[in-house]
Each structure stands twice: as structure tokens, then as C-alpha cells.
Chains A and B, each alone.
Chain A
Amino acid sequence: MEKVITAKNLTKKFGSFIAVDNINFEVEKGEIFGFLGANGAGKTTAMRMLCGLLLPTSGQATVAGFDVYKQNEQIKKNIGYMSQKFSMYEDLTISENIRFYGGIYGLSNDRIKEKTAQLIKQLHLEGQEKTLVKALPLGWKQKLAFSIAIVHEPAIVFLDEPTGGVDPITRREFWGLIYEASARGITIFVTTHYMDEAEYCNRVSIMVDGRIDALDTPANLMKDYSADSMDEVFLHLARKAVRTGD
């Protein structure tokens, strides 16, 4: 299988604080990779290094075949990103947001039109193209944000707690979108606090105090820790944490 993300001894220090401590992992093409950990475990820091938003202190990493140190601008052409902080322009309409993000990733005007029509239909937003994004309910905003993050069909999409504060039905619909994208060959790198979502992933890693303490398929992890659910696995590992969450 083709490796789209590799991390070797990737480390990030802020002064004397080691936010990410020598992590090693590989993500395969088309995989849904769950990145778990308690608050403050270092998930977001690791993700920001892979996206080219933060410079690593040491170690190696490649994303979509590009080096995170030197080729961070090439990485940006090949990834999508959706952060915990809601990141569409609230004072622009739905179609204006799609047009803007499509445009800056170099989609042609015809392609933008095509994509807009497709997304509106897929998200059942017919007739709301001219609605300002701030008027949408949170669940719809998140689904729209995800669709916009992959509007340019990137190799990988990074999702940082995409379903925070969203109701269970919408979360299920959201994961429907994730599976659809994965089936098209887009690799999904997702952080979450919901353990039922962890079970939807092909493989999960669990970070504790900046280190990756476990990495396997959810089924294997449950077997290894002789647990009935991912919840138990997570509690077992995260309870050892010395750091207090933020």
C-alpha cells in the first residue's frame, strides 16, 4: 500500500514543554486514521505540524510525499483541513464560500459551478445557496465545512474534532460523508473525543502525554486490552496521563 503520511521521531517542544514526543506512524492511502487522545495530549500540535502550520523541533515527516520542513507549500496544495474553530466566512453565503475556497485551490469556473451544484444537492441545501453561512445550524455548518475542505479533491484531509457539539444524527450523517470521501480515495486523518466514532476508523492511535501509546485497528486494540469497547481502551490508557487537560 502507498504511504501518504509518515512520521519518524516527530517532536515539538515549546520551551521546556514537550508537546509531541518522538511519535512514529504511517498512514496508508484511502485509510480512515483516527487520532485519539485526551485534551492536551498533543493531537492538535501533531496535526498542525503535518499541515505545515507549525515547524517541528526535530524528527522527519512527509505528507503526500512532500517533506514538512522544506516542501510545506506543496503539501498545502494536496491537503484539506478543517479545524475545531469553525473556519468558513460567516458573512459570505454558502455558494460564495464554495466559490472562494474552490478558487484559491485553482478550480476552473466550470468546475466550481459543477461542484457547487453537487454539494448543494448532496447536503440537501437546495434553495439556500444565497443564505449567509452564519444563519446555518451548527451541524449543517460542519457538514458544509467538510465538503468545502475536500472541494479540490485533496490526497488527504485533516479533521480536527470535526463533530464537536453536534447531535448524534448529524454526526452519523457526517460520518456518511467521510466514508464517501474515503471511498473516492481521499485519506482521512481525524481527531475525535467520541469513542463510537473511533470504532468507525480503520486504525486508531491513542496519544498520552505527547507519545503514541497504542496504534492498531479498533478490534485489535479491544482484544489487546481485553476491553468490550473503545471507551474502555481509551480510559485504560488515558488514565495514566500525568498532564492535565486544558
Chain B
Amino acid sequence: MRMLKFLLQKELKQIFRDPGIIRVLFIMPMVQLLILPLAADYEIKNINLGVVDQDHTEYSRILTNKIIASGYFKLKDYSPTFNQGLKAIELDKTDLILEIPPHFERDLVKDNQATLFVAVNAINGVKAGLGGAYVQQIIQGYNQDVRMQWIQAPRYNPQPTIDVTYSDWYNPHMNYRVFMVPGILVMLVTMIGSSFAANNIVREKEMGTIEQINVSPIKKYQFILGKLIPFWMLALSVLTIGLIIARVVYGIVPLGSYFTIYIFASIYLLAVLGLGLLLSTYAQTQQQSMLVSFFVTMIFNLLSGLYTPIESMPAWAQWVTKFNPVSYFIEVMRMVMLKGSGLMDIRFHIVAILGFALFFNGWAVLNYRKRTG
């Protein structure tokens, strides 16, 4: 115990003496949490619309206005022919062309039917898909409006329809920030924890001080604990800053308790730091450990369910996420923050993450050798 006390004292002094570490530790979470949630918003807005109106009637004008008034589209191009409209897509001025053919109004009134053509730039699949769907919805609404003007609605609809009513649970306003901020916070503590831990032992290797440790009676587990505990405390304080920002800036108050979050985070961080320490027992230089930890955390983050739902990944990738500690924490964060889950609800997650923590740290202690062969 006394040995550990000296190791911790030394480690904390070194950390707090390095102004770079403190700056990164506190400025990084603020910048990430203030900027990333705004960028990671899946709602598609500002779709650039080109209109090719060959009809020039009141009806075509009302349709165009209705689309722009929806708020999702910006009229960027208004061309007389389709070919000219296509040019605007090629020049990346517009994402979508709505072509209103000649005699649109006449056909609609006289023949009770008319055609429209929508051409979408599908390079960005999400934008194209949603943009096309929005336009279709607006045109349908327009169609209904037009019909309502012409006919007196009967008391009973001759054409029975099924009306669907939605009720959005847990995130009733479908606010992306509520969904993203806890996830980004997880990514943040993961990156900070693993990269600092990965670099630290390697730094001692580079400085040559590790040899002085290796000829001393310090036990391996004492050395690893001496590295683990300070970074564990730092990562928990970063989490705290993040939770404060989430509350103050985004008004995100967990439905469950902070206690549950901290219990899980404490175990989770042991796993992440253990992984970092494990990498650093293999790496010889800080560049090596930096690159490897960057690579590993990037894969972990992409396979974590932060950006894309795990359920829509291919079966093998879903299987891989079972071995990704980040995915557990993101799920737990969302469960506790949005659904109000308690310790009992996340008990399997706790068991799994405890397994990761034991595995990575055990491996790190085993692989750290005071004597080479």
C-alpha cells in the first residue's frame, strides 16, 4: 500500500505539472461537446431545389411555394428546360429537380390527373432518399388540398382509410441532441482515457525511467495500478465536466440517476484504461502507441452504435460489437439518460464490462515484464 502511495504521488505530480495534459483534458471535452452535437444531426435541411416550370400557371406556382414553405428546401435554380436544370445539378448547385411539365394545370383540372417528374442527385444517399420522400409527401398534401377545393367532402369518406397515430416514447421531440450528446460523451472519455494511458508507460520507456523501475522491488501489479488510478480519476472528472455541459448547455438531465452512470462509468473506465495500458506494454515509442490506440478507438467508435444503429449492421458486425466495450457504455448511457434505467436494468452490461476490465488489465499485468528473456 505504501509503495502504491509513492507511485500515485509521483504520477499525479507529473500529470499536474504538464500544462499540456490539463489543457487537453479540459478544453477537448468542451469543444467536442459544444460543436459535435450540432454537426452530428441527422435531420436533412437546406436541400437545394431546382425547379423546371414549363407550365407557368397559378397551380405550378402554388406547388413550388408549398415545397419551399416546408422549410426543408431552398430554391437555388429556376430553369426553363430540364437540360438546363440538370446542368445546375452537375455544377452541385442543386440536389433535386422538380420538373413541372407543360399543361400541368390544364391536365389536372380537365383530365383530373397530371404527372410530375422528380430527379434526385443520389451521391449522398441519405440526403437523396429523405429529400425525395419529403417532396413526395408535400406533393401528396398538395394533391389533397387541390381536391378539397373542388369537391364537397362527404360525411363518410367513401374511400375508407387507416389513420395511424404515433406516440414517440423516451425522446418525444425526437431531439437528436438528447440522443447524440450522451454518446459523444462516451466517445470522449474513451479517447482521452485510452490514449493517455497508452502513451504514459511508453513515455517512461522512451525516457529510460522504466529501467530504473524494473530494477526496483516494485511489483508489476503495483506499477500498473499506479498508472491506472490517476488516469481513472482524470477520466471521471472529464465525464463530470461533460455531464455538466450536457445539463447546462443542452438541458439534458438523466431520467435515471447520476449514481447509476458513475457506477457503470467507473468499471467501464477500468476496461478502457486497461486496454490503453495493454497497448503501451507492447509499443516501444509514443508514435506506435498513439497510432494503434487511434486505430482501435476509431473502430470501436464506428462499431459502437453511436452514429448508426447496431441493429442495421450486417450480422457479423453485430457480433463484433459484442466485443466492443464502447457499445455497452453508449447503450447504458442512453438507457439511463433517456429511459431512466437503474442498476438492475443494466446488470448484464455491468457483468460484461467487468469482464472486459479484468481481461485487459490482467493481460497488461501479464505482458508487462520487468525482465526480458
Contacts and interface: CB of A to CB of B under 8 A. Distances in A.
A144 interface: no
B125 interface: no
A194 to B, nearest CB: 22
A104 B371 contact: no
A91 B13 CA distance: 9
A81 B215 CA distance: 7
Interface string A84-118: 01111111100010011101111000000000000
A53 interface: yes
B9 A100 contact: yes
A91 B207 CA distance: 11
A136 B5 CA distance: 27
B371 A105 contact: no
B372 interface: yes
Given A83-B208, A86-B208, A106 B370 contact: no
Contact of B13 (A72, A77, A79, A96): A96
Nearest to A90: B207
B6 A99 contact: yes
B3 interface: yes
B211 A52 contact: no
B210 to A, nearest CB: 9
Contacts of B14: 89, 91-92
B209 interface: yes
19 contacts: A51-B215, A52-B215, A52-B370, A52-B371, A53-B211, A55-B372, A76-B215, A79-B215, A81-B215, A83-B212, A87-B211, A87-B212, A89-B14, A89-B209, A91-B13, A96-B13, A101-B216, A104-B217, A105-B217
Cβ-closest 8 pairs across A and B: A103-B6, A85-B208, A87-B212, A81-B215, A77-B217, A100-B10, A76-B217, A55-B373
Interface of A: 51-55, 72-73, 76-77, 79, 81, 83, 85-92, 96, 99-101, 103-106
Given A81-B211, A91-B18, 11 more contacts: A51-B215, A53-B371, A53-B372, A83-B208, A83-B211, A87-B212, A92-B10, A96-B10, A99-B9, A104-B216, A104-B217
